Amino acid sequence: MADLDEKKPFEKARHLDEIPVPVAAVPPPTRQPPRGRRFLVAFLKLALLTSLWICARRWTQTGVEQELEAHEGRWISRAFGGEAWTWSPRKVLRGKKAEKLFLSVPNPASAIAASRQYATKPHLAGTDGDFETAKNFLRLLQTELGAGAPGSIPLFSAGTPESRNATLGIPQLTKPTAWIDTYYPVMNTPLDHSVEILDDNGNVVWKAELEEVADETDPEAGKYFDAVTTWHGLSRGGSARGKLVYANYGKKEDFDALVEQGVDLNGSIVITRYGGIFRGLKVKGAQEHGAAACLIYSDPRDDGTVTVENGYAPYPHGPARNPNSVQRGSTQFLSIYPGDPTTPGYPSYENSTRTNGTNIPSIPSLPISWANAQVLLKEIQEGGQNRTISLVNNVDDKVIPIWNVLGVIPGHIKDEVVVIGNHRDAWVLGAVDPSSGTSSVHEVIRGLGALLRHGWTPLRTIVIASWDAEEYGLIGSTEWGEDFEDWIDEHVVAYLNLDGSVSGSRFNVQATPSLAHFLRAAAEEIPHPTQPGKTLWDATKDRGVLTGDHIDAEVLAMHSEAEAELAASSTGVGVLGSGSDYTVFVQRTGVASAGGGFGSTLQDPVYHYHSIFDSERWIELYGDPGFFRHVAVAKYLGLQTIRLADSIVLPLNTTHHAFELEKYLEKVEELASTTSLDVDFSDLRNAIQSLQKASLKLDHEKVEAEHKLRKLLHKFARRHLFRRTFRRALCKLKRFLGKDCAPFRKDASAVASPAIPTVDKAFECSGMKSGKGNKNGLLPFKPRVGHAPAVAQEQREQAMGEELYALDKKRFPSKKFKKAVKRVREVNKKLKLFERGFIDEEGIKDREWYRNLDVAPGKWLGYGATTFPALTEAITIDKNHTLAVYEAKRLQKLVEKLTHVIKV
């Protein structure tokens, strides 16, 4: 026990050494914040980073969009222009900004002034007045587009090297150009005429007053009432005597009904009323049934509710028909072929070989007024004397020069051309037909001129045409189309036509189906001309407000049927037949085309078609007071032109057209079911369905091709933005360190003339402090002498251009863009060739000039369209089983070939 006790002090000491340090000297343990606070801090950090990322993303996207807005036009021009591309110091207008600027230009005052310029004097095709309007239109192109020196007259004779080179050289043009082409068709002018009633001894008991009667109430009508007599263009000269026979509208079914009734038409004078079909076919029907001559009159029954019977006063004192008005017009057989009758299928040069025309009558005809028709019709009414009618129509058939005026705005894509056209000639004054269209085109040209002055260059070339001698039979456009058929086939991607733009309250459009959606979309973006809150497309439902209790049942039925047929269309866009200058483009070459404007309804003031009363007073008082519809049509046509010219992928909907073909086939099957012809259309239907599938794949390729190109544009814009932002920051840093920020190119400042006071640097490389430069980062500059402001501005633009040009030239990913552009170009080629695919060189039976097997003017309609014309007429007119089978097979092969062409 003692030993143990002795050890205790040692152990005690050892234990003392191991005593822990006092708590106060030990570092306090790390205290963890509460879990909720750690989460809050992490959340705030994440939110801050996310906000920074979103801001950066938005800034980048905004910056990229701004870069695209500023330079997309230049880059697209660079991509499509290739070696032909040249740099411009201005921003290249494109897209919505270009459209907005254009739409701000057309205005009523200017349109009215243009109408008065063209419609207050007679300008029949081939006359001195007509040549004056050609020079007026040329001067407009020269002044507004910069297309040559105003006052100079580049006048070429068709077929000469100058004329040929003017059109064939369009793809090589680098600046706007305009000229006049002279063609030499055979037309006629009136000499003397008469319509008389003879008694049994051959004595004249009544003589018609064939000239229109007008006074100073309508100043121009009163002045020029006898400037152009009442007669039919291209009518047969001669005289005839015979008994009068009434043939209603002179349709095929009207003549068939007369034959069934046992009426002998041989040697008769047939009288028909205007309407239903083209006037030339009325004469053709009379001729083929043995008549000696034909009279055509304007019947108030066709004026709807706006008649004296309903209490409306005749023009010039009211909106109803003047009973002395006469509708002039051509009696060419339009559905056989248009153009110069003596040069079918080839152009009418001064020394062209001529043939005897087969599309003109062999019997004389005359147009007459309702006042004269009333007297004649009493002769054959119950109780009438049915005396002999004598008709004289002496004319002078001769070669007459006409003048097409053409202007060109060169685009970056030289081998794709958009053509817009309107005819200029009139039967007399032509305030509606065609000068309402001419004044609308006048406004389009002014709008395009404004774009050019603001640095715009279209992606595709635009050709503007003022056709002549349309009234005689589409002569000016047809001769040019036949003259340059191969060039049109190779280059023209679309044709936009405007005849008269306003004659009433209802807006209507017609087109090849591939353009239908495009037309409707554009119309839905133009404001309604007279009703706020509505669009131009809403005007397709408009009608006049002049109502009445009395209306002809037959006329009402015809209009209701036409409205129902249009309403049944999925787009509301009609089909093109003939009757205006799109004919040679659609029917001969296969170019996607469109036309339209405001037309009359049965409740509108009576439009005196081809009469002296188609005057400036009528159009300003009744047709379009204020000219708001003229301006709406101008904006509509211009918007289409810009979009067709500037779209990366052509806005042609081949799939809609392909599905319309199946509807056309259903019509044919329905017609065949009413006959004894048993034709199998299954192979044709299968071919159409294959075309539909190929077109759907082409739609996908259209989207992908454009998406790829736009993706490259965004990528290039992002790179461009980054380089510019980096250089700005670098400039700021250099200036902060007291160093100069040199121009991007050493010689950029050398553009300044030493004689002009300038700032130290005309261009600081976009590194301006906020508020010290303009939006382009350029130094403010206020020179003190002479013309220095303009020169300094030019310096700044030039210096800025040096940087952009160098960046574009050095950094532009040409190879990638070329590949993307090539893909787009291949798509556009297929879209262009779609319409060409319906052209068959063999043409349509009995009228081989017409080569489009998809659509043509009806053989007995003239204006109206017949779909699948060769096949339809084999069934309805020829009633020939063998021919119907042949036509179905021919159409099938055409569709199969087209399917192969558009395959991707």
Write out pLDDT tens, residues 259-297.
999 999 999 999 999 999 999 999 999 999 999 999 999
- Domain annotation covers residue 802: no
552 and 478 within one domain: yes
Asked if residues 36 and 56 have their Cβ atoms less than 8 Å apart, the reply is no
Predicted pLDDT of residue 64: 56
Indicate the DSSP class of residue 237: P
Q: Give the pLDDT band (50/70/90) at residue 334.
A: very high
Q: Give the pLDDT band (50/70/90) at residue 16.
A: very low
Phi, psi angles (nearest 5°) of residue 897: -65, -40
Both tokens assigned to 327 = 């509708």
Peptide bond into 28 cis (omega under 30): no
866 pLDDT more than 50: yes
Q: Which of 247, 300, 289 is nearest to 271 (CA)?
A: 247
Coil, strand or helix: which one is 259? helix
Asked if residues 382 and 246 have their Cβ atoms less than 8 Å apart, the reply is no
609 pLDDT more than 50: yes
Both tokens assigned to 297 = 């009159």
Average pLDDT on 385-391 reads 97
* HSE-CB for 521 with a 13 A CA cutoff: 11
Predicted pLDDT of residue 564: 85
Q: Which of 221, 232, 147, 222 is nearest to 189 (CA)?
A: 232
Residue ranges making up the domain that contains 332: 186-399
422 and 367 within one domain: no
pTM higher than 0.75: yes
133 and 197 within one domain: no
The secondary structure of 104-145, three-state, reads: CCCCHHHHHHHHHHHHCCCCCCCCHHHHHHHHHHHHHHHHHH
Angstrom distance (rounded) from CA 257 to CA 365: 22
Both tokens assigned to 169 = 């050289």
Phi, psi angles (nearest 5°) of residue 118: -95, -30
Q: Give the pLDDT band (50/70/90) at residue 65.
A: low
> Residue 384: which CATH number?
3.50.30.30
Q: Give the pLDDT band (50/70/90) at residue 95.
A: confident
Q: Give the pLDDT band (50/70/90) at residue 843.
A: very high
> What percent of the chain clears pLDDT 90, i.e. is strictly above it?
75
Q: Give the pLDDT band (50/70/90) at residue 5.
A: very low
The residues, any chain, with a CB within 8 Å of residue 672's CB and separated by 6 or more, are 678, 679, 681, 875, 884
Predicted pLDDT of residue 47: 65
Both tokens assigned to 643 = 């979009």
857 and 831 within one domain: yes
Both tokens assigned to 367 = 């147009």
- Domain annotation covers residue 252: yes
- Domain annotation covers residue 664: yes
- Domain annotation covers residue 160: yes
Q: How far apart are the first and last CA of the chain?
A: 113
> Residue 439: which CATH number?
3.40.630.10
Q: Give the pLDDT band (50/70/90) at residue 417.
A: very high
DSSP result, 69-110: HHHHHHHHHHHHHGGG----SS----HHHHHHHHHTS--HHH
> Residue 877: which CATH number?
1.20.930.40
Predicted pLDDT of residue 651: 98
Predicted pLDDT of residue 765: 32
Average pLDDT on 68-97 reads 66
Predicted pLDDT of residue 8: 45
21 pLDDT more than 90: no
656 pLDDT more than 80: yes
Angstrom distance (rounded) from CA 18 to CA 16: 5
- Domain annotation covers residue 808: no
Instruction: Report the mean per-residue pLDDT for the chain.
Output: 87
617 and 592 within one domain: yes
489 and 394 within one domain: no
209 pLDDT more than 70: yes
Task: From the candidates 212, 470, 616, 701, give the one annotated as an active-site residue.
Answer: 470
Phi, psi angles (nearest 5°) of residue 902: -95, 0
Average pLDDT on 596-621 reads 98
Q: Which of 650, 687, 619, 683 is nearest to 827 (CA)?
A: 650
Of 399, 430, 446, the domain-final residue: 399
509 and 414 within one domain: yes
461 pLDDT more than 60: yes
350 is known as an active-site residue: no
Question: H/E element holding 181?
Answer: strand 177-183
Both tokens assigned to 30 = 């790390």
220 and 168 within one domain: no
Angstrom distance (rounded) from CA 688 to CA 874: 20
- Domain annotation covers residue 85: no
Which of 72-81, 539-548, 862-871 shows the lowest per-residue confidence on average (mean pLDDT)?
72-81
391 pLDDT more than 50: yes
Angstrom distance (rounded) from CA 608 to CA 164: 39
Amino acid residing at 712 = L
125 pLDDT more than 50: yes
- Domain annotation covers residue 562: yes
Of 350, 368, 399, the domain-final residue: 399
801 pLDDT more than 90: no
Q: Give the pLDDT band (50/70/90) at residue 37.
A: confident
Q: How far is residue 42 from each of residues 39, 51, 508, measured CA to CA in Å? A: 5, 14, 65
Asked if residues 619 and 635 have their Cβ atoms less than 8 Å apart, the reply is no
356 and 211 within one domain: yes
703 and 672 within one domain: yes
Predicted pLDDT of residue 61: 55
Q: Which of 274, 874, 866 is nearest to 283 (CA)?
A: 274
Which of 436-445, 590-599, 730-739, 766-775 shows the lowest per-residue confidence on average (mean pLDDT)?
766-775
Coil, strand or helix: which one is 416? strand
Predicted pLDDT of residue 171: 95
Q: How far is residue 350 from each of residues 182, 186, 189, measured CA to CA in Å? A: 9, 10, 19
Question: For tokens 């349309």, what's the residue?
Answer: 470
Most distant CA pair in the chain, distance: 185
532 and 484 within one domain: yes
Predicted pLDDT of residue 752: 36
pLDDT higher at 172 or 796:
172
- Domain annotation covers residue 563: yes
Number of domains in the chain: 3
Phi, psi angles (nearest 5°) of residue 92: -90, 115
Of 399, 430, 454, the domain-final residue: 399
Indicate the DSSP class of residue 896: H
Amino acid residing at 895 = V
Asked if residues 424 and 466 have their Cβ atoms less than 8 Å apart, the reply is yes
Asked if residues 763 and 778 have their Cβ atoms less than 8 Å apart, the reply is yes
pLDDT higher at 748 or 668:
668
Strand pairing class (402-409; 269-273)? unpaired
Q: Is the dihedral of CA 892, 894, 900, 904 positive or negative?
A: negative
210 and 359 within one domain: yes
* HSE-CB for 648 with a 13 A CA cutoff: 25
